[in-house]
Structure 1
Amino acid sequence: MALLRGLLTRLAVLAAVLAAVGLLPWLAARDPALTVLRARYPGREATETALASVRADLGLDAGPLAILRDRFTGLARGDLGTSWVSGEPVSATVLPALGTSLTVMAAAYAVVLAIACAASLPALTRAAEGRPARTGGIAVAGLAALPEFLVAALGVALFAAWLGLLPAYGFTGPEHLVLPALAMGLSGGGVLARLARDAIGAVGREDWVRQWRTAGYRRSRIVRGLVRRALPPLLPQLAIIAVSITGAAVAVETVFAVPGLGRAALAAADAQDLPVLQACLLLLVGLGFTAGLLARLAANRLAVTDTDAPAAPPQTGTRRTALVWIACTATPLLLALAYGLARTGAIAPGDRLAAPAAAHWLGTDELGRDVLARLGQGTLWTVGAAAAACALSYAIALALGLAPRLAHPLAEACNSFPVAIAGILVVVLLGRGQTGAVLAVTAVSWPPLAAHAASLTAQARAAGHREARLALGPSRAWMLRRHTLPLVAGPLASHAGLRLPGMALGIASLGFLGLGAGPDSPEWGASLARSLPYLERAPLAALAPAAAMIAMTLAVMAAVSLPRRRRPRTAKRPAAPRRGVPVPPD
């Protein structure tokens, strides 16, 4: 029943997205007729007669209900419609792009599984022999959390621009598949490897492993049992990684000029070619939904009911190591921020792409502006926008979490939308800008927070002392304010704070794709995209924002893994004896 409810919720959310795309001509800030007129007839003046003719040709004069009816009827027949810009069938553009994207995604998923399997084999061997499995350190966890567009940019810089080992652009042969597959699968493989090692370590501490080893079972048999026991909690993570790969297609295909669905969706959004955009989003989101559904079916089939869920892995590392990581990563960002606030980003054409010197410690960019000053100013742009998105996500999650029956299915369905797809929709609706980037990141950040808030609300309502309070007859508002919110607001705020660096990287990814901050802004993603063409002449202009993103991620990972000091328990002093009460002897 729960599986059917989840499927219906996903289909409803997908239908709502397609309906929103169909209504974009009446909701968007720009008139699509003007965009289509400029694309079809570049030299024609945008008069009211010309625009009315384009609207009639596109069928916009029939009204939104007729557009939605025709669009859904066509999709039910397998007809994707006709492109507004080229006038050709959408299937002629989208289906070849789908084949290309599926090829790249399959290669990326192979990278994910290869990394996870290679990292899990030592953990399986140690667990089968009765030794504790080792987990990755702070560096591995931080690098695994890096976004795909940053890995793609660094891959272009290292393997294409400097070493010349692999091609940077195009998609004509197997050699063009290596860098995109690595960029899309490297971070997901690191995440899955870390989770797999943690799950294997937790299963290896269960009693049945020791009993099998004592009974003389072969190590291969114990390894198969470990895999069978540790796999079910990992299957939902496979679905999440599949969703992230579909979202990464937009950025990675844009960086490497791969003619896939992501690049086609971005181009259609820029041209306001809504039939092509709707088809691309239908396929991309459909792939994410399908991956989530298959993973859930597999998890239900492999679920183990006779044992408890694996316990959370113990924290690794020492407090001193985590503090060293925090100092080494956060201090340069704070110094760059102070330097950027003290300097100006004035344009100096005579100092274009200058090397590092005393006047400009990291050199200058393509307009002669100080790279370090722009980096510090970009910290405010990126982290400030992420803080705004974090606050909005927290407010939405807190409001929805008070209704757990509504929050859980909505969070599960909306969790299948990558940030790039949300950014495309927001850009078509509101136009490019930092405000749209904040809203797009908020749209994909509230689902996990809402699911957590719903769980906290359910726990608060199941508390035993709540029934005693209800017996006194308080109002619902009083119970909400004095009982439920204090138990939900604090832990949810901590969870939202942990997601702040991911939101900052989401803001940077939209800026990198040109969907967020303007190209001249100091925002990290926009600065990285603007500096890539000058990578060989001024590498620090591109590497500085990339290093800032890595440093921010590592700093937060170190802060999260910081072991808490346990305060020593002090013996309570005996209460002073009341007058007339004898003190018992020692």
Structure 2
Amino acid sequence: MTTLPALPQPRAGSRAWLLADTPHTRTQAIWGRRYRLWLGLRTNPLAVIGLFTVLLVLLISVCAPLLAHYPPGAQDLANRLAKPSSLHWLGTDELGRDTFSRILYGGRITLGMVITVVAIVAPLGLLIGCVAGYAGGLLDRILMRITDIFLAFPRLILALAFVAALKPGIESAILAIALTAWPPYARLARAETMQVRGTDYIAACRLTGATSARIVWQHIMPLCVPSLVVRITLDMSSIIITAASLGFLGMGAQPPSPEWGAMIATARRFLFEEWWVPLIPAVAIFITSLAFNFLGDGLRDVLDPKER
């Protein structure tokens, strides 16, 4: 019997290999999907700007010790409230601390809080929503009524109540924001689960003897991830603003910590004279939040099939 020669494989990493209609390996399929996602995302200029802005903010925050000219807490009272200059690119605050250095280190705190919150609420909301949507019945009603209770309160007010019940600080702020941010993800995951739980795909899984836990974990939750990623990206700006608001109100990061919201709080009395002192951290919050919104809109256009 004559064996047919093996078909030539495109060079790994090439465009042809990534865009192959019939992937030969799981790795090729995964990277092909990611490449198609990038091709769809780059057609949206605002999404690309948002992506690179987010990456830039993350990079300079991580590299703050290498980029900062001065320690964030170093005081120079003889040079307090200095205007932006070659020595202090963004000026100094009321204690003579370099604003540029504090913005860099503040990004580590603010973005660290946001990333920690997302790492907590995304899996929690996804799990609760998928379990409620797949189980239905009494369990669904109980979980959704708990979700409705959290949704009935404004996020910032509820976060303030949680922080006040604990103690002001970064850890308390992270926990408070996480406790108030998970309900929208649970509702979204539940809606996605209810759309797929009656499909032939899930029925075939049941016929093979898969348990409910296995179906939810391995088959339903992965289907909900794309919509959840879009919602998380769009929510990042509100989480940033909530974290900064807690810092501004004295319930988040405490002075002399260079957190963006706390920086605005301590400098607000100089708004009309030395306006650059409170304005610079506000601009940092604005640019980062806007970048996440641009990126979220672009991801929604690419990942949401209803938008295509």
TM-score bin (small chain): 0.7 to 0.9
The structure 1 segments of at least 4 consecutive aligned residues displaced by more than 4 Å after TM superposition are: 324-327, 329-332, 563-566
Distance in 2 (alpha carbons) for counterparts of 1:351 and 1:505: 31
- Residue 323, structure 1, aligned to residue 52, structure 2: no
Q: Are residues 1:450 and 2:202 paired?
A: no
- Larger of the two Rg values belongs to structure: 1
* Residue 61 of structure 2 corresponds to residue 337 of structure 1: yes
- Aligned equivalent of 2:163: 427
Alpha-carbon separation, structure 2, partners of 1:467 and 1:333 = 45
Secondary structure of 1:388's aligned partner: helix
Aligned: 1:439 with 2:201: no
From 446, 466, 488, give the equivalent of 2:202.
466
The aligned counterpart of 1:389 is 117
Q: Give the alignment of 1:60-459 within 5 angstroms.
A: 319-324=44-49, 330=54, 333=57, 337=61, 340-342=64-66, 343=68, 344-345=71-72, 346-401=74-129, 402-404=131-133, 405=140, 406-459=142-195
Q: Conserved in 1, the CA contact under 8 Å of 2:103 and 2:281? A: yes
Q: Which amino acid aligns with 1:319?
A: N
Structure 2 CA distance, aligned partners of 1:339 and 1:370?
17
Change (3 A) 1:392 1:321: closer
Report % sequence identity.
31
Distance 1:399 1:330 in 2: 27
Q: TM-score, normalised by structure 1?
A: 0.40
Q: Deviations over 1:343-380 (max 9, x none)?
A: 21111122111111111011100111110110111111
CA contact (8 A) 1:423 1:515 kept: no
**Corresponding residue for residue 560 of structure 1:** 296
Map of 1:40 onto structure 2: none
Gaps of 5+ in 2: 1-42, 134-139, 304-308
The answer on 1:539 being equivalent to 2:271 is no
Larger deviation: 435-444 or 459-468?
459-468
Q: Post-superposition shift, 1:427?
A: 2.6
Is 2:90–2:100's contact at 8 Å kept on the other side of the alignment?
yes
The answer to whether the aligner puts 1:523 opposite 2:259 as a matched pair is yes
- CA RMSD, aligned part only? 2.8
TM-score by length of structure 2 reads 0.72
Give the 3 Å change call, closer, same or farther, for CA 332–370 of structure 1 in structure 2: farther
What SS does structure 2 have at the residue aligned with 1:560? helix
- The answer to whether 1:475 aligns with 2:183 is no
Give 5+ residue unaligned stretches, structure 1: 1-317, 567-586
Report the secondary structure of 2:147's partner residue. helix
Distance 2:258 2:297 in 1: 31
Would you say the 8 A contact 2:62–2:108 is kept in 1? no
Structure 2: which amino acid aligns with 1:393?
V
Work out whether residues 336 and 373 of structure 1, in 8 Å CA contact, stay in contact via their aligned partners in 2: no
1:506 paired with 2:242, answer yes
More relative contact order in 1 or in 2 (CA 8 Å, sep 6+)?
A: 2
State the aligned residue count.
250
Q: Is the 8 A contact 2:236 2:289 kept in 1?
A: no
Distance 1:340 1:359 in 2: 17
Maintained 8 Å contact 1:519/1:526: yes
Matched AA of 1:403: A
Q: Secondary structure at the match of 2:156?
A: helix
Q: Distance in 1 between matches of 2:187 and 2:143?
A: 6
